[in-house]
Each structure stands twice: as structure tokens, then as C-alpha cells.
Amino acid sequence: MECLVSPPVHIHAIDADRCVGTWDRTVIQIWRRVAAPDAVAELNSISSRLLSEEGGPVTCLFVVEASSPPPNDGARKELARFSRDIVRLMALAVIVAEGGGFRAALVRGVGIALTTLMPHRVPFKFVNTVDEALVLLKPHLSQATGGTEALRRALAEMREQLTARGATVAPGSIS
């Protein structure tokens, strides 16, 4: 019987607006409130560092909670840099647009606008739930470290830390 050892989630940046961490070879980001340009630039730095440290494929789980407004011009510029310079080097990046309906369409619209400006294929997928994201990420995750269930636990831990920082839990957000 194989012994699974799930690596801990490492939180690199956290405040009331967002939480960015890494688990195994996955960058996890949760945006609960405003995506400030400096916060997105910090995400870019964290993601670049993980890419340079890992020999294998890196993935990204990007959760935009229902309470997070659309990014401003400065944040969109940094998100475009994330798409152009970082995501193109990843195996897959999945964006979860929580809130359903119009909200999900808004997040998709911003994401698609950013990626259509890129001169290369960007491996972004847009979904409405964490469960859908985990299905897409599963082939890229190490089963020896716990696979999708361990990633789900890492995400839940990050949400707990975000809430402990004073960020209210967004309606419609699920772990």
C-alpha cells in the first residue's frame, strides 16, 4: 500500500482582499475583494518563482469569489503580464468564477479579453465551481501527494486563513 504524503499549503501573500499560496506544484489564488495592481504583481513574482523552482509542470487554481469586483486598469495590466509571461509556461490554469450567471460571464469576459490579446495559446480554462476545476486539474496533480482531495483541503485552509484575516466569506463561495 502506497503511503500518501500531502505537502502543506504555503501561504505567500494574504490580506483581506486575497490569498496567494502554493501547494505541491500548484499556485492557488483566491480573490475575495479588490485585485490591486501591486497584489497582482506579487502574484506574478510568486508564480514565476514556483516555475523556476519546479522541474515538472506547474498549474494554477485561480478562484474569483462573488464579492470580488472587476479589476481596475492597473490590475488588468498585471493580469495581462501574468497571462503573457507566466501562464503560457504552465501546464494549465483554471479560473473559477464563483457567483454564477452574470457574475461568471463577467469574470470570463475579463479573462477572455486578456487572453485574446496574447499572441500565443494560453492554457486557461473557465469554470463555475471548484469541483469543475479539480476535474480539469486532476491529470496534472501528483496522486502521491493526495491529488485533488489534498488540493481541495489546501484551498479550504487558505479560505479559512483569509476569513481569519477579517475578510468576510463571500456568499456562494464553496471550498
pLDDT in tens, the chain (175 residues): 454 667 899 999 999 999 999 999 999 999 999 899 999 999 999 999 999 998 778 999 999 998 888 888 899 889 888 888 888 889 999 989 887 655 455 555 555 555 555 544 556 788 889 999 999 999 999 888 899 999 999 999 999 999 988 755 444 444 4
Third-level CATH fold of 10-164: Transcription Regulator spoIIAA (3.30.750)
Query: What CA–CA distance (Å, rounded) separates 140 from 123?
Result: 13
Query: What CA–CA distance (Å, rounded) separates 28 from 129?
Result: 15
SS (H, E, C) the chain: CCCCCCCCCEEEEECCCEEEEEECCEEEEEECCCCCHHHHHHHHHHHHHHHHHCCCCCEEEEEECCCCCCCCHHHHHHHHHHHHHHHHHCCEEEEEECCCHHHHHHHHHHHHHHHHCCCCCCCEEEECCHHHHHHHHHHHCCHHHCHHHHHHHHHHHHHHHHHHCCCCCCCCCCC
Domain boundaries of the chain, sorted by first residue:
10-164
